[in-house]
Amino acid sequence: MDAALRRRPWAARGPGDPAVPDAAEAAIAGSARWAGVLERLGGEGQVVLDHWEPARAARYGPVPGALDPRLVEALRRRGITRLYRHQSRAVEAALLGRHLTVVTPTASGKTLCYNLPVLDSILADDASRALFLFPTKALAQDQLVELQQLADAAEMVLRTHTYDGDTPPSVRAALRDAGHVILTNPDMLHTGILPHHTRWVRLFEALRYVVLDELHTYRGVFGSHVANVIRRLRRICAFYGSQPTFITCSATIANPVELAERLLGVTVERIDESGAPAPAKRLVVWNPPVVQAALGIRRNAALEARALVPALVRRGTQTIVFGRTRLQVEILLNYLRRALAEPTAEPDGAPPARVRAYRGGYLPLERRAIEAGLRDGTVRCVVATTALELGIDIGQMEAAVLVGYPGTIASTWQQLGRAGRRGRPALQLLIVGGGPLDQYVATHPEFLLEQPPEQALVNPDNLLVLAGHVQAAVFELPFTDGERFGGVDITDLLRLLAEEGMVHHAGGRWHWSADAFPAEAVGLRSVASSNVVIIDTSSPPARPSGGPQGPWAGSGGGRPGSGARIVGEIDEWAAPLTVHDDAIYLHQGRQYHVERLDWEERRAYVHPVAVDYYTDAEVRVSLQVLDCFAGPEACPGESAERAHGEVRVSWLAAMYRKVRFLTHETVGAGPIALPERDLHTTAYWCVFPAAVAARAGRALEPGLHGLAHALEQVATLTLMCDRRDLGVAAQVRAPVHRLPAPPPAAAAEEFIAGGRRDGPAPAPADTDRGPRGLATIFLYDAHPGGVGLAGRLFELHPLLLARAAELLRRCPCPSGCPACIGAVAGVDPQVKAMAQTLLAASAAPVAPAATGTALRRAPSHEPSRDGTAREPR
Amino acid sequence: MIAALRQRLRALAGEGAGAGRVRALGPVAGRRPRGIAGSFGPPPQHGGWGAGAGAVPAPARGLARLGFHLDEGVLVRRLVVRVGQQAAGGLDAVAPEVVALLAGDLAWAAADPAAVWYFDTETTGLAGGTGTIPFLYGWGRRIAGGMELEQWLLADLGAEELLVDRALRRLAGPGGVVTFNGTAYDLPLVRTRAILARRERDWRGPLHLDLLPLVRRLFGYRLRRCTLAEVERQLLASGRSDDLAGSEVPERYRCFLRDGDGSHLAEVLTHNERDIVSLGRLLAVLGRQAAGAVQEPGDHLPLARFYEARGATASALRAYATALDVVAPPLDRVSARHHARLLRREGRPAEAAELWRMLWERWGDLEAAEALCVDHEWRRGDLEAALGVAERALGVAPPALADRFARRIWRLERRRGRGSAARRRDAGPEGSRAPAVPPPWSAWLPGGASYEAWQAARRRRAPATSGTWAAPTTAPREGDRPVALSA
C-alpha cells in the first residue's frame, strides 16, 4: 500500500491511515476472481501493468451532536447509524458555518455532506434557504430526488424543485416565494436569478448555504465566469444581509482548495480524507496484440473490448465501458450485443436490454431509464461516453473498462473510479489504442500511477470576463464609490463604462443607465446551445385537419408531422459529422438512415434501417489569418517572431466513409454538402526562423507539434485557463509570415479565397528553405471573438518560450512523454530533442549566415535581423 | 485589451434600442457625466422652488419651462387634458359595477372613483430586471370633461427614495390603479424600486386593473398586436403619427442625464400624457363592451367567453346564442361548441343535445359526436342511436381519436348484447374462428372478454373499412437490405 501511495503521492491519505488487515486476503480473492477472465485471453505481453490497490476499510466518525434529532432518526431509518469520517467532519464544519470543500472519490457519499446541514438549517428555521448549483440540468434532477428522499425520511416539509429552462412558470413563482432549496445551474443564476433578485427576496435574505457540486468542472474561462457570478451572488447576499456558507465538492484534481478559494473568494476548509470503504482494485493496462508484425499494427481496441467485456458480463460482473467518442460507444454497443448474442437493436416494447449505451443526445427519459436499470442491476453492462463521468448516481460497478486512454489523468481516474462495489474486488481495465499517446501509456504504464492529475485553473480577473460581469453587477445593484468587486478595484472600469454611456455616476454611486440587459450579453460557456433534433419519419404523422383546439386538439392542427417521433438530439457542432444526408445514425443500437438534414430548421429526418455498416465522417480544420494586430516581430535577443491577430478557424465536414462492422473495411464513401462552421477569434502565433526549420529535417513536424503541446501547457498555466479554452495549430509552412502588412482586409480575402496570390510561385517540394511559409505555432482563443487570452500570450511571449524550455528540461522522460510533448509522444525518439532545438534556436539571435541563405529569395519579408520590433502597419 | 473592451461595450450598447443615435447627439468622451440633483440643493427644507427661479441653474430652468416644480422633494408637473364625450374614444364614466366585472374583483365596486389613478411609467430601459429604473411616474384621474394629469420626474438616479416613497403612498391610497401591462411591467418595477430603496419587503400591491389581458381577451382576435399604439388605432380611432416611439424613451433620458437639458424630455412627457389619456379612453371602450354594446358582430364570441369566465352565466348564454347567428365561420362552430359545453355544465342537457346534434350534422364535430353518444346512451337510453353515431364517427375519426370511439362501440355492443341475442347473432358467421359463446366468466371478470380480443374479431369481420383506426404497422422499406445480425 505504501508503495502504491508513494507512487501516487497526491492520493488522499489520512495521517493515521490504518493498514487494512484483510487487504492481502482481498487481493488474493480478487485475483482468483478476475484471473480466469484476463489470463485466459492474455496472449504474450498483453498485460503491461497489473497493479493491486488494497482494500480500504471504512472509517467512521460520530453523527454530529448538533444535528437535528429528526435527521438522525431519518438516517437510522435508512440504515445509517454512523457517518463516514469525512461526512462527519464535513457536516460538523458546515453546521458551524465554515466554508469547505470535500474531495473524496466517486460514490463516497458526498451528497450527504451537504444535504444534512442544509436540511438541518431548514428544520431549525423554516425561513432558511439554500441554493444548489450543478453544472448540468441532469445532475440537478438527480440530486432533487436524493434530497427529497432524505427529507421524506425525516418527515419534514421540504419545498424544493429544480429551477432552469425546463421549469414551468407556475412552479417558478411558487419556488421564488416559498422554495427552501433551489437547484439550478450557474447559467440560470447568471441570467435568470441575479438580475431579478428583487423577486427572490426570501431566498437572498435567508440564504444559509450555497452548494457547488462538481467543482472541478468550473475551470478555465467557464470557471472564471462562474467565479464572477459567485462574486455577484455574494454582493446580492450582502445587500439582503445574508452570509451563506459555501459547501463545495470536487473530483480529484491537483488543486481543489486553490480552485475553491479562487472561485468563491473565501478561505475554505479541505476535507479530503475519505472514510468510505473501498474494495481491493486491480488495475490492468492492456495492450492489444500485434496483428501485422511488419507495420507493427495492433488490433483495434474496440475489437479487443469485444473479446474481453462479454467474458466479464457472462460471469455476472456489472461492467461500465467508456468509449472515447459517441460513435465509438454505439459501435461498441453493437459489438458487445452481438458477442453476447443479444439483438443489436431493441425492438419497441421489448423488455430493456441488459447491455445499453449512454451518451449525450439521448432523451432525458431514456437516460433516466438506463440510470435506474444500472442501479437496480437489470442493466448489466453500459457503454458510455464522458457523459457518465460526472456524478450521476448509477451505483458502483464491479468493473470499469476504458477503451482508449482518455487523454488526461484526472479523467482516467474519474472513469476508473466508477468500479468498486463494496465487499467485492473491482477490476479497472484500460485497453489502450494504437495511437502514439496510447502506446506511450502502454510502454510507460507507471505514468498513470506517478503523474498527478491535472490542475483546474481559473482567472476571474481576466479583463474581458470581469468587464462583462461588472456590467451585470451594476445592473443588479449600483456600486458605491470605492466599492470593490471580489477584491478588485474597478473604479477605472466603471469610469470607462460611464464614458461609453453604460453607467451614470450620481450621488456617490454608479447606476446602470443603458437600455440593455448585460447578463444576456455574457455567455458563461463557449459552446453553442442550439441542438439538431432527430426525427423518425416512419411513425405515422397525425392527419392534418382544421379542427379546433382544446382537449380535442389531437384531432388535427399543429405542425405537419407533429405525430412523428423524436429519436434524440445532437449539438450543432457534431451534427454535420453524425446526421448529414445519407449518414447512418446509431442510437442505442438502432440504426437510422438520415434522409435529409434540414440545417436551417435544425432537424434531421431519419427512418430505421438494418445495414451492416456505419458511417464515419471526416472533418477538415483549417486556420486562416484575417488580420494582424501586432507583429510579426522578434523580441530583443530572439529570432522567433511573435504576432497577434484575428483568425478564422473553420471546420468542414467534407466527406464520409461507410465502414463495415467488425472488419472495419471501407465499403463506400460520399461527399457531405454542408456549410463550413467558423470560429472568428483572436490568436497569438510564434513563427520560427527558416534556418531553424531547415536544420530540423524530417523531425520538424512532430517536433513542432510537441512544442505546440508544451506551449499550450505553459500557456494554460500562465493564463490560468483550461485546455479547452485554447486551440492549438502547428503549421510547418504557414503563409502568415508573408502577410503583406497593409491592407489587412485584402489579405484576409486572399486567404479566404484559398491563397490565390500573385508573386513568386512557390515550389511545392521546396520544404527546407522555400519562401512558401515558415514553421508556425498558433494558440487561439477557443471562444467566439476571444476573451483576451491571445493578447496576453502575445505580451508574455518570451516568458512562454522560457517556461516551455523549462518544462521540457525538467520533465524526466528521455525522449518525450504525454506530459511534456503530448500526443506525439512515441512518434519519433527525436521529438523532444527537436522541440528543444526549436526553442533553443528561437531564443538565440539569428546567425547572419543562416538567415541569409534561407531568406534571400524573399527579401521583402525578411525578419528584422537586429531584433527590433517591426512596425505593425 | 482596452480597445477590445471598448469595442465590445459599443457592440452591447448597439443592442439597446436606438442606442446608436446617442453618440450622434453629442460628444461623450471628455464630458463628465453629472447629475443635476445637486443643483437643487436639499429641496424639502427650502420649499417653494418656483419662487427662487432666478437662482436655479440652467438645466433646472429647462425643467421649469416644461412645467415642473418641486413638491415635497419630488419634481412634479400638473396639467389638465380636455377630452370630449364622443362615442368612440370618449372618456365616459364607467360604472363601478362594470369595472368590478372587468377586473373580476368586487373590491372595485366599492373603490372611490375619484381616487382611481391611471398609471404609466417611463423607464431607462425596456429589458426589465433590477437595472431598469422608472424615471417618470405618470398619473391621471378623471375629472369633469377630461383628465387631470400628474407627472413625477426622477431628475437624478441617485435620489430615488423620495420618489419611491411618494409612489408607494399613492398606491396604498383608497382608490385603485388602472394600467396597461402593469401586472408584468410597471408594478413589478415599483416593487423592485421599493425593495432596492429598502422601503417594502412584502409589498402586496394596490387594487389593480390591468387592461392588457382584457384587450387580449375581448379584442385580441382582431388586433395584430396588443400594444397600446395598436389599440389606439383600432379601438380608439386615433393614431399618433408625430409621437415619440416608446423604444426611444430610454435614449432621451440618457441624453438628459448627460447634459441636464430638460428639453430632451419634452416629447417623453407628451408621450406619457397620451398613454395615460388612452388608458382612460380604453377603459371606457372596455366598459361599453362589457355592458353589452359590442362594436362588431365578431365581438360577441369573445364577450360570451369573457362572461363565462367571470361567472356571468346568463349573459354568457345570451351572448353565445347571439354569436351563433352573427359570427362568421369558422368561429360560429367554436361558439356553438362553447355554448353546448356551458349548457351541459349548467344542467340543461336537452338544449345542449340540440346544439351537439347541429355540430355533428353540420360540421362532423367529433366532440359533439361523443357528447351525442353519451346523451343517447344515458339520457335517452337509446343504445342503437348511440351506436349509430359512434360507428359513423369512427369512420371519420383520425387515428389519435379513433380508439375512443372503438372502445365506446365495444362497450355499447356488450351492453346491448347483455340482455339480448345480439351477441350470438354478431358472432354467428365467424363462429368457426372466434368463440361463438364467450366463457361464462367473461361477463363479469375484468378483462375476461377483452377489448383487444373484440377488436381483433372486428378487424376480421370488416378488414376493408377499418383501415383508419387499425394500429399502424411499420412496413419495411424497399432498399433496406436486412442483414443477419449474429456475427
**CA angle A745-A747-A748, nearest 5°?**
65
Q: Higher model confidence: residue A871 or residue B328?
A: B328
Over residues A813-869, the pLDDT tens digits come to 777 777 778 777 767 777 888 888 888 877 665 444 333 333 323 333 333 333 333
Q: What residues in B contact A515, CB-CB < 8 Å?
A: 16-19, 124-127, 250-251, 254
- CA dist., res. A380 & res. A317, Å (int): 7
Over range A166-183, report the average pLDDT.
89
* Torsion angle in degrees (nearest 10) through CA of A27, A32, A33, A35: 110
- CA dist., res. A9 & res. A11, Å (int): 5
* pLDDT for the residue numbered A11: 41
Q: What CATH number is given for B57-290 in this structure?
A: 3.30.420.10
Beta-carbon separation of A514 and B19 below 8 A: yes
- Sequence-separated (6 or more) residues with CB below 8 Å from residue B352: B340, B341, B343, B344, B371, B375
Beta-carbon separation of B474 and A471 below 8 A: no
Q: What residues in A contact B187, CB-CB < 8 Å?
A: none
- CA dist., res. A217 & res. A223, Å (int): 7
Which of A264-273, B49-58, B167-176 reaches the highest mean pLDDT? A264-273
Q: What residues in B contact A554, CB-CB < 8 Å?
A: 398, 400-401
DSSP B283-347: HHHHHHHHTT--SSGGGHHHHHHHHHHHT-HHHHHHHHHHHHHHSPTTHHHHHHHHHHHHHHHTT
Q: Please report the number of interchain residue pairs, chain A to chain B, with beta-carbon separation below 8 angstroms.
A: 194
Could you tell me how far CA B341 lies from the centroid of its own chain? 23
* pLDDT for the residue numbered B180: 93
**Where, residue-wise, is CATH 1.25.40.10 in chain B?**
298-425
Window from A409-413, B122-126, B221-225 with minimum mean pLDDT: B221-225
Chain A interface mutation, best of B2, B7, B9, highest count of A Cβ atoms under 10 Å? B9
Architecture of domain A2-56+278-450: 3-Layer(aba) Sandwich (3.40)
The beta-carbon neighbor of B37 closest among A201, A501, A506 is A506
Residue % of chain A over a pLDDT of 70:
82
- CA dist., res. B79 & res. B140, Å (int): 10
* pLDDT for the residue numbered B19: 35
Res. B151 pLDDT band, cuts 50 70 90: very high
Q: Which residue of A has its CA nearest to B251?
A: A515
DSSP H stretches of helix in A78-166? 85-95, 110-124, 137-153
The beta-carbon neighbor of A507 closest among B19, B37, B400 is B37
Q: Provide the residue ranges of all domains of chain A, joining segments of one domain with +.
A: 2-56+278-450, 60-271, 463-521, 620-644+682-754+768-861
- CA dist., res. B238 & res. B244, Å (int): 15
Beta-carbon separation of A464 and B4 below 8 A: yes
Kind of pairing between the strands at A677-687 and A726-734: unpaired
* Grid cell of B405 as nine digits: 370511439
User: Does the structure show a pLDDT above 60 at B226?
Assistant: yes
- CA dist., res. A757 & res. A755, Å (int): 6
Over range B458-468, report the average pLDDT.
49
User: Does the structure show a pLDDT above 80 at B89?
Assistant: no
Give the distance from residue A464's alpha carbon to the nearest chain B alpha carbon, in angstroms.
6
Q: What residues in A contact B34, CB-CB < 8 Å?
A: 505-506
The beta-carbon neighbor of A501 closest among B28, B191, B195 is B28
* pLDDT for the residue numbered A112: 92
Over range B299-320, report the average pLDDT.
88
Give the distance from residue A793's alpha carbon to the nearest chain B alpha carbon, in angstroms.
12
Topology at the third CATH level for domain A463-521: Arc Repressor Mutant, subunit A (1.10.10)
Give the distance from residue A787's alpha carbon to the nearest chain B alpha carbon, in angstroms.
9
- CA dist., res. A548 & res. A543, Å (int): 14
* pLDDT for the residue numbered B51: 33
Q: What residues in A contact B128, CB-CB < 8 Å?
A: 196, 517
**Where, residue-wise, is CATH 3.30.420.10 in chain B?**
57-290
In eight-state DSSP terms, residue A618 is: E
State the average pLDDT for chain A: 79
Which of A522-526, B82-86, B210-214, B467-471 reaches the highest mean pLDDT? B210-214
* pLDDT for the residue numbered A264: 94
Q: Which residue of B has its CA nearest to A193?
A: B129
Strand, coil or helix: what is B447? coil
Residue % of chain B over a pLDDT of 70:
71
Q: Is the ipTM of this complex over 0.90?
A: no
* pLDDT for the residue numbered A188: 93
Judge whether A794 is closer than 8 Å to chain B, CB to CB: no
Q: Which residues 448-477 in chain A show a CB within 8 A of chain B? A: 463-464, 467, 471, 474-477
The beta-carbon neighbor of A338 closest among B19, B29, B487 is B487
Report the amino acid identity of residue A433.
Answer: G
Beta-carbon separation of B158 and A463 below 8 A: no
Over residues A117-148, the pLDDT tens digits come to 999 999 999 999 999 999 988 888 888 988 99
User: Does the structure show a pLDDT above 90 at B378?
Assistant: no
Q: Which residue of A has its CA nearest to B368?
A: A552
* pLDDT for the residue numbered A352: 65
The beta-carbon neighbor of A475 closest among B4, B17, B130 is B130
Beta-carbon separation of A464 and B337 below 8 A: no
Over range A775-802, report the average pLDDT.
84
Beta-carbon separation of B480 and A610 below 8 A: yes
Over residues A462-491, the pLDDT tens digits come to 888 899 999 999 999 999 999 999 889 999
Q: What residues in A contact B127, CB-CB < 8 Å?
A: 515-517
- Per-residue burial over A564-573, b = 16 or more CB atoms within 10 Å of its CB, e = otherwise: beebbbbebe
Q: Please report, for residues A278, A613, B163, the alpha-carbon distance to residue B167 in angstroms, rounded to integers and kept in the order given.
A: 64, 72, 6
Q: Please report, for residues A269, A430, A473, B180, B386, the alpha-carbon distance to residue B185 in angstroms, rounded to integers and kept in the order given.
A: 44, 59, 21, 9, 53
The beta-carbon neighbor of B13 closest among A201, A502, A539 is A502
Over range A5-13, report the average pLDDT.
39
Res. B404 pLDDT band, cuts 50 70 90: confident
- CA dist., res. A107 & res. A353, Å (int): 25
* pLDDT for the residue numbered A361: 83
- CA dist., res. A139 & res. A147, Å (int): 12
User: Does the structure show a pLDDT above 90 at A249?
Assistant: yes
How many other C-beta atoms are found inside a 10 Å radius of the C-beta of residue A254?
A: 16
Q: Which residue of B has its CA nearest to A563?
A: B400
Give the distance from residue A501's alpha carbon to the nearest chain B alpha carbon, in angstroms.
8
Which of A211-215, A542-546, A727-731, B456-460 reaches the highest mean pLDDT? A211-215
- CA dist., res. A564 & res. A50, Å (int): 51
Judge whether A788 is closer than 8 Å to chain B, CB to CB: yes
Residue % of chain A over a pLDDT of 90:
26
User: Does the structure show a pLDDT above 60 at B421?
Assistant: no
Beta-carbon separation of B400 and A499 below 8 A: no
Res. A239 pLDDT band, cuts 50 70 90: very high
Topology at the third CATH level for domain A60-271: Rossmann fold (3.40.50)
Give the distance from residue A514's alpha carbon to the nearest chain B alpha carbon, in angstroms.
7
Over residues A419-448, the pLDDT tens digits come to 887 777 888 999 988 777 788 788 888 888
- Among the CATH numbers 1.10.10.10, 3.30.1950.10, 1.25.40.10, 3.40.50.10320, which is that of B298-425? 1.25.40.10
Contact yes or no for A263/A461 (Cβ under 8 A): no
Res. A759 pLDDT band, cuts 50 70 90: very low
Specify burial of residue A99 (Cβ count, 10 A radius: 0-12, 13-18, 19+). Answer: buried
User: Does the structure show a pLDDT above 90 at A38?
Assistant: no
- CA dist., res. A622 & res. A778, Å (int): 12
Beta-carbon separation of A504 and B483 below 8 A: no
Q: What residues in B contact A513, CB-CB < 8 Å?
A: 124, 133, 157, 254, 257
Over residues A585-625, the pLDDT tens digits come to 998 888 999 998 888 888 999 998 989 999 998 888 888 88
Contact yes or no for A536/B477 (Cβ under 8 A): no
Contact yes or no for A331/A661 (Cβ under 8 A): yes
Q: What residues in A contact B37, CB-CB < 8 Å?
A: 506-507
Closest CA to A366 of A382, A386, A390: A382
Res. A248 pLDDT band, cuts 50 70 90: very high
User: Does the structure show a pLDDT above 60 at B445?
Assistant: no
A590, β-bridge pairs: A587
Contact yes or no for A209/A117 (Cβ under 8 A): yes
Give the distance from residue B325's alpha carbon to the nearest chain A alpha carbon, in angstroms.
19
Q: Which residue of A has its CA nearest to B337?
A: A548
- CA dist., res. A728 & res. A790, Å (int): 11
Chain B interface mutation, best of A515, A609, A613, A787, highest count of B Cβ atoms under 10 Å? A515
Closest CA to B293 of B87, B485, B20: B87
Judge whether A195 is closer than 8 Å to chain B, CB to CB: yes
Over residues A386-406, the pLDDT tens digits come to 888 777 778 788 899 999 988
* pLDDT for the residue numbered A786: 77
- CA dist., res. A494 & res. B130, Å (int): 18
Q: How many helices (H) and strands (E) does chain A have?
A: 28, 34
Verify cis geometry, omega within 30 degrees of 0, for the bond prior to A544. Answer: no
Over range A314-336, report the average pLDDT.
90
Res. B58 pLDDT band, cuts 50 70 90: very low
Judge whether A511 is closer than 8 Å to chain B, CB to CB: yes
Q: Which residue of B has its CA nearest to A556?
A: B398
- CA dist., res. A84 & res. A60, Å (int): 4
Q: What residues in B contact A538, CB-CB < 8 Å?
A: 474, 477
- CA dist., res. A397 & res. A427, Å (int): 9
Domains A2-56+278-450 and A60-271 share a fold: yes
- Per-residue burial over A771-796, b = 16 or more CB atoms within 10 Å of its CB, e = otherwise: bbbbbbbbbbbbbebbbbbbbbbbeb
Beta-carbon separation of A547 and B366 below 8 A: yes
User: Does the structure show a pLDDT above 80 at A497?
Assistant: yes
Window from A40-49, A75-84, A252-261, A570-579 with minimum mean pLDDT: A40-49
User: Does the structure show a pLDDT above 70 at A149?
Assistant: yes
- Sequence-separated (6 or more) residues with CB below 8 Å from residue A459: A224, A465, A719, A720, A721
* Grid cell of B360 as nine digits: 355533428
Strand, coil or helix: what is A636? coil
User: Does the structure show a pLDDT above 50 at B471?
Assistant: no
Beta-carbon separation of A788 and B1 below 8 A: yes
- CA dist., res. A408 & res. A227, Å (int): 24
Q: What residues in A contact B474, CB-CB < 8 Å?
A: 538-539, 608
